[in-house]
A = this chain, B = another copy of it.
Amino acid sequence: MEITTIVIYDIEDDKVRYRISEACKDYGLARIQYSAFSGQLNRNKREELYLKISKIIKNKTGKIIIQPVCEKDVKEQKMIDNGKQEGSFSGDEK
């Protein structure tokens, strides 16, 4: 069963951070913040993504959280979205 999955990461190395963002996109996740993605994944896909990200980061400094969030909790989400300056995500796209 696919449920919302949020991936948030702190990665110092630009190339590693870029490759992780590309991995998230490969799994159909959409960027929700500079260093956070969200989308629908089942448990197998989450496991795959986790292994893929583990291979990308290897021993480089960083922290990644892959958090499934059930529909009930998604409905309780509160968001403040005061827009974005155009291109403000571009720092990740090296």
Contacts and interface: CB of A to CB of B under 8 A. Distances in A.
Nearest to A65: B79
Contact of A33 (B53, B65, B78, B85): B65
Interface string A61-94: 1111111111011101111111111001000000
Interface residues of A, number: 43
B57 A36 contact: no
Give the copy number.
2
Nearest to A58: B82
A78 B43 CA distance: 11
A72 B88 CA distance: 35
Contacts of A77: 65-68
A48 B8 CA distance: 24
